[in-house]
Amino acid sequence: MNPNRTDLTSPPDLTHERRTGAVRAQRPVYADLMPPCNHACPAGENIQAWLSLATEGKYREAWDVIVRDNPMPAVHGRVCYHPCESSCNRNEFDDSISIHAVERFIGDMALEEKWTPQIKVPSSGKKVLVVGAGPSGISCAHHLALMGHQVEIRDAGPLAGGMMRFGIPAYRLPRNILDGEVARLERMGVRITLNHKVEDLEKEFAKFDAAFIAVGAHLGKKTDIPARDAGKILDAVSFLRDVEDGNAPALGRRVAIYGGGNTAMDAARVAMRLGSEPLIIYRRDKAHMPAHEVEADEAMEEGVNIHWLRTIKSIEASSFTVEKMEIDEKGRPRPTGEFETIEADDLILALGQDTDTGFLKQVSGISFESDGTVIVDDQMMTGHPGIFAGGDMVPSARTVTIAVGHGKKAARNIDGFLRNDPYLKPASPAVATYDKLKLWYFAGVKQQGQPHLALTKRRDGFGEVVGGLSDAEVKFEASRCFSCGNCFECDGCYGACPEDAVIKLGPGNRYQFNLDKCTGCGTCFEQCPCHAISIVPEPAVVG
């Protein structure tokens, strides 16, 4: 540990005067702050650290850093909606770092090389049951295995992956990528039992020391629409699952998808690949849709027609009566009393998903929210001691990355429960916001774009739409990182100090201050481009 480094849990007072008299009033400290990308990541990845390693081409080391928090970088590099990039300080300068593209490259290399994390701790002798082989269950099992516990996963499906496999189409997440991430988990010693639906949790739990329940939201929500002589009415989740299972239903020429979320966009794009002409009916406008903008843009780019501000009132044979809506001052849709007819042969409902939590109803101590989700405490434990829950079945936003974060958090708390040593999350440093950076140091360079499959080829199959970056592009993209709040050894402080008070400790070891020479002038602080140096008052002298 560098004796001049400190971890700040609250922002320091950055105002200072250059006071260089006989008594120094302030001193510089090397203080790692929290990069905004790290702060925004639901999986808690140390993004700045692995980007730095990727810049140097140290991909195995970068992957080792990633899998401390996230066991599926090749998956996340494709399906995460990367809130890290939305929070990236570089957004205010030119373009955010393409973090997901770099992570994807590293994750794909790990699959090619069959990298597997080493379990460095002795076996605890404890057994943990994980119900559900989706992102949250896989994450929890990964972390528990690294902690030395024996883990067994039970899943009702024929293949592992949960909603990653049965809810995300192959053109976004190729199945060989998902299979490779699952195979690594098995190489770590995790046992996965498929086609095993847990019906009596208390009976199965009796054989284990703890359990984590992570059943995905596989049940499509319904709605009552007056229908007469209507064609097929399907729910989007079942439709996508049937396509994945190789049992795609026969659809008419025109298929309507009712909803405006990511599942609606996926259902429409899949229907197009099956030969239909999809159209989406949604009661809000694009600005208020729950789908991520990139999903809607890609759907429209492929030719999906979206009828914004429409709600279905009735269905007759091959037509729908829809009412036009308008957005009120609070952003909510309201009816206008105007109607129109839209022609379509079949309807796919994409109105959201629910989780089947019925098998938990008889377990003592477990309670539920009104929507059926399971209530957990701050440690993600249910009201039944030793039974934890996460992912889609607890109150939360539903994304792969949030589910993975739940799995990691639950694993830490399960480990604490099993060892009778509760996990205490360390305090987080202050966030290194854009205003703290010295932008004169950095050059403006736009983000590297990813290649896309030609439109003419997308409609004919399920080939991956978005391609990856090359080795050179990955290194260049990673090098665009500002290293917000974390020293990257630019030698600025070393060269700027007028008193020669900065000592270089060698590559990778950064610097320290010789406080016998330092006058507290703050020159090092003023020139540090990434705000890895803070100025703090001298401790008061007592006596």
Query: What residues form DSSP beta bridges with 512?
Result: 503
Structure tokens, 492: 């600025």
pLDDT at 529 over 60: yes
> What pLDDT is attached to residue 541?
56
Over residues 289-318, the pLDDT tens digits come to 999 999 999 999 999 999 999 999 999 878
Contact 85, 40 (CB under 8 A): no
CA distance 63 to 80: 17
Res 257 pLDDT > 60: yes
Whether 22 shows a pLDDT value over 90: the answer reads: no
Give the mean pLDDT of 369-389. Answer: 93
Look up residue 40 and give its two tokens. 């925004």
| pLDDT confidence band for 506 (50 / 70 / 90) | very high
Q: Which of 441, 536, 530, 516 is nearest to 5 (CA)?
A: 536
Write down the mean pLDDT value for the chain.
92
pLDDT in tens, 24-78: 889 999 999 999 999 999 999 999 999 999 999 999 999 999 999 999 999 999 9
Q: Which two tokens stand for residue 149?
A: 């516990």
Domain 5-33+486-537 and domain 237-349, same fold? Reply is no
Helix, strand, coil shares of the chain as percentages rounded to 5? Answer: 30, 20, 50
Task: Give the Cβ contact number of residue 457 at 10 Å.
Answer: 10
Place of tokens 């990541």: 41
Residue 356 pLDDT: 81
What pLDDT, on a 0 to 100 scale, did the predictor assign at position 371? 82
Question: Does residue 354 have a pLDDT over 90?
Answer: no
Confidence of residue 355 (pLDDT cuts 50, 70, 90): confident
Rounded Cα distance between 326 and 139, Å, is 42
Q: What pairing do the DSSP bridges indicate for beta strands 346-349 and 233-235? A: parallel
Note whether 185 and 138 are within 8 A (CB).
yes
Give pLDDT, residue 395.
Answer: 84
Q: Are 187 and 385 in contact (CB under 8 A)?
A: no
> Looking at residue 216, what is its pLDDT?
81
160-210 per-position pLDDT tens digit: 999 999 999 999 999 999 999 999 999 999 999 999 999 888 888 999 999
pTM here?
A: 0.91
CATH assignment, 5-33+486-537: 3.30.70.20
Of the chain, the end-to-end C-alpha distance in Å amounts to 30
* Contacts (Cβ under 8 Å, ≥6 apart) of 269: 169, 171, 278, 298, 299, 302, 304
pLDDT at res. 466: 96
Q: What is the pLDDT of residue 224?
A: 77
Q: What is the mean pLDDT of residues 106-131?
A: 97
- Interatomic CA distance for residues 59 and 105, integer angstroms: 9
- Structurally, at CATH architecture level, domain 237-349 sits in 3-Layer(bba) Sandwich (3.50)
* Separation between Cα atoms, residue 282 and residue 280, nearest integer Å: 6
Residues 6+ apart with CB under 8 A from 65: 46, 49, 50, 53
User: pLDDT band for position 102 (50/70/90)?
Assistant: very high
- Kindly give the interhelix angle for 293-301 and 262-273, rounded to the nearest 10 degrees: 20
Judged against a pLDDT cut of 90, whether residue 271 lies above it is answered with yes
pLDDT at 6 over 80: no
- Indicate whether 402 pLDDT > 60: yes
Q: Which two tokens stand for residue 213?
A: 């329940």
For residue range 411-460, list pLDDT tens digits in order. Answer: 999 999 999 999 999 999 999 999 999 998 998 888 989 999 999 899 88
Residue 150 bridge partners (DSSP): 127
Question: Residue 358, CB half-sphere, CA atoms under 13 Å: how many?
Answer: 5
Give residue limits of the domains in the chain.
5-33+486-537, 237-349
Q: In what order do the strands lie in the sheet with 310-316?
A: 227-228, 310-316, 319-327, 333-343
Per-residue DSSP letters for 147-171? TT-EEEEE-SSSSTTTHHHHTS-TT
